[in-house]
Structure 1
Amino acid sequence: MNSTTTSRGIVITGAAGALGQAVAQHFLDEGARLALIDQGLDRLRQVFQGRADAAPHLLLAADVSSDESMADAAQRIEASVGRIDVVVHVAGGFEMGEPVHGLSRAAWDRMMNLNAWSFVAVTKAFVPAMLERGAGKVVAVSARSAERGLAQMAAYCASKSALQRLVEALSQEVRGKGINVNSVAPTIMDTPANRQSMPDADRSAWVPTAVAARSIGYLASDAAAAVHGQHLVLGA
């Protein structure tokens, strides 16, 4: 079966956020079966009411940083949605403010859990089934700031850099077994939250969520069959 057919099963974490919604809509337009994961079920129901809140889709509250929560989610998804062909890991977190010499362990752990360990927990839940089938796509959402450390953003930059190293390592481990693992690395996303927090910023170089969703769609398609362990930078 061609993996770009409309019967594909897609898991999207962080689905209730601005980018998650755009990614979900992209795959809904393809006719895919969606398993949409976020922290709160009520928020998912509100966002996807009338679009993806009934079979063959599934809305699911889960903790992406918990091995146990993701293992349970994978079992429920398999029973309800069926075969999963693509995992898009959008969920993550952002914090800034503390300098390196004043960085708290709590802030460090939050960023590492949300942005790095979550990728481990999510792929633990879904990659084994892909390996059994010999096919699958994994796309993570990294950030352009993974390239270097930035003032007052040490934990965030380090955690996104760790995510990229995990993407590269997993790609090396599974690329010969029919599975593609890649990421997109946006600059600033054009979301309502970013517009609110930076009202006077020049948004001309910001990345629209629909553009990011199409880029993720490319990495999840047969057109990217030869792309392995790459970080597609989005934005200037």
Structure 2
Amino acid sequence: MDSSASPRRVVVTGAAGALGRAVASAFADEGARLALIDREAEALRAHAPVAQAADWHLLLGADVTSPDSMADAARTILDAFGGIEVLVHVAGGFEMGEPTHALSRASWLRMMDLNAWSLVAVTQHFIPAMLAQHAGKVVAVSARGAAGGAAAMGAYCASKSALQRLVESLSHEVRQAGINVNSIAPSILDTPANRRVMPHADTAAWVSTAAAARAVAFLASDGAQAIHGQHLVLDGLS
């Protein structure tokens, strides 16, 4: 983690989920000032590792697939914080789908919106502020599955692959301005949801949310200053 006189200002999307909470906790432990975003404000208030505090932490309900919703959230954050140093885009989604030849457009659009378009909807409101200060870190959460297809997961794998291409493209566009854009690409995260749907799996082989949060923290640190447009694969023991 970086150490400086002024606390870093950090935005985390998907902050009510298991990984989002772990990421927020990691930055809270370093004394960062947090703006936490999740679709449902009540779920966020119930599960976030920090509470809303006047002139310090912000907890906001917003739809990361909606530019209008994100514009409102970003305006609130930037008005309160004056700028941000770190944006961590955790929000996304997973679902098993139909075979590729029978894939529904609804499934395709749902995965593409959640996992790819959301990066555009979120960054379009924060990248200009980073460009103005000539510095910033953007870390997205991709997946190891972005590297190839899998049965009944065509839309999901394609959407995470699209996310990686967007990360790479954005990185090329802003690196000269001092902004680092990268992602982590975990295999299976050890979350309550994954344990419920895979009750007989060997969870010892999965990636803990704490380990994933540490990887995010590294990519958001000065130690990653020379890393641009990369996807840090977190294999666990799988």
Same fold (TM over 0.5): yes
Instruction: Give the aligned partner of residue 161 of structure 1.
Output: 161
Q: 1:128 to 1:166 in 2, by over 3 A?
A: same
> Counterparts in 2 of 1:24-43, with a 5 A limit?
24-43=24-43
Distance 1:172 1:4, change over 3 A: farther
* Cα distance in 2 between the residues matched to 1:28 and 1:183: 20
- 2:86 and 2:220 in contact (8 A); partners too: yes
Asked if the contact 1:141–1:185 (Cα under 8 Å) also holds between the matched residues in 2, the reply is: yes
Q: Aligned pair count?
A: 234
Corresponding residue number in structure 2 for 1:96: 96
Q: SS of 2:44's equivalent?
A: helix
- Find out whether 1:15 has 2:15 as its counterpart: yes
Alpha-carbon deviation of 1:48? 2.8
Unaligned stretches of 5+ residues in structure 1: none
- Counterpart CA distance in 1 for 2:68 and 2:102 is 33
Q: Give the CA deviation at 1:72.
A: 1.1
* TM-score in terms of structure 2 length: 0.95
Matched, 1:217 2:194: no
**3-state SS in 1 of match to 2:155:** helix
Match of 2:82 in 1: 82
Q: CA deviation at 1:97?
A: 2.9
1:179 maps to 179
Q: Specify the alignment match of 1:53 in structure 2.
A: 52
| Contact 2:97 2:154 (C-alpha < 8 Å) held by counterparts | no
Q: Deviations over 1:119-151 (max 9, x none)?
A: 001110100110111000000000000000100
Distance apart, 1:4 and its partner CA? 4.3
In structure 2, what residue type is equivalent to 1:128? P
Residues in 2 aligned to 1:52 and 1:86: alpha-carbon distance in whole angstroms = 19
Measured after TM superposition, the shift of residue 54 of structure 1 is: 1.4
**Pairwise CA distance, 1:47:** 1.2
Q: Percent identity?
A: 66
Question: Which runs of structure 1 show a deviation greater than 4 angstroms over 4 or more consecutive aligned residues?
Answer: none
Aligned residue identity for 1:30 = E
Q: CA contact under 8 A between 2:142 and 2:184: conserved in structure 1?
A: yes
Which 5+ residue runs of structure 2 have no aligned equivalent?
none
CA distance in 2, matches of 1:8, 1:28: 10
Q: TM-score, normalised by structure 1?
A: 0.96
Partners of 1:149 and 1:185 in 2: CA distance: 15
Give the whole-Å Cα distance in 1 for the aligned partners of 2:172 and 2:94.
Answer: 28
Deviations 1:64-84 (A, max 9, x none): 011111111110001223321
Q: Secondary structure at the match of 1:150?
A: coil
**Distance (Å, rounded) in 2 between the aligned partners of 1:4 and 1:224:** 14
**RMSD of Structure 2 on Structure 1 (CA):** 1.3
Give the SS at the match of 1:125: coil
Q: For each residue in 1:135-174, what CA deviation from the matched residue of structure 2 results, as whole angstroms up to 9, or x when unmatched?
A: 0000000000000010000000000000000000000111
Q: What displacement does 1:3 show? A: 5.8
